[in-house]
Structure 1
Amino acid sequence: MPRTPTAQVNGATIRDIRGLVGMTTRELAQRAATTSQHISNVELGTRPCSAALAGRIAAALGVRLESILREPLAATAERHSRPRSRQRAAA
């Protein structure tokens, strides 16, 4: 079974933006098609976030996906495009 791609989101940033727009975890969960417990766990960093969910969270908050990621998409793409041997050496 293929793995679902995950996104390294910044949970504190999600929580801060959610607060700025006046949205509860329940409201964000409804708009992002998940549970409020999942949103809470993502914000706390105790549960991974799929790339698809990260996109839905960003859309629900009215922000660009890049604004809730821990590192810019370009850096993520660069890291994942390196050959495996270079990744280990660079790490």
Structure 2
Amino acid sequence: MDVVEEIADERRALVDQVAALTTEQRATRSLRPAWSVHDVVAHLVKPFEVSTPRLARAVLPAGDSADRASDRVTRRPAQRPFDGR
């Protein structure tokens, strides 16, 4: 198996795990205090929805803070309903 296939398998396994979460589990606070598990999932899918140039443009208004920029661009995906797939 090549690396791309292994990554795809890992992502599919993560989708299966996330899909099995209850509403309460998704609302649970994560290790990042301001984020729920739902927010973490939004952060994980962000690279598939947010281009590198868009993320780079978000850094300037965030005071050159990559963390604040990441929070900002993660907000939109985190507001979408969670259907597990």
Is TM > 0.5 for Structure 1 vs Structure 2?
A: no
The structure with the largest strand share of the pair is 1
TM-score with structure 2 length normalisation? 0.30
TM-score, scaled relative to structure 1: 0.29
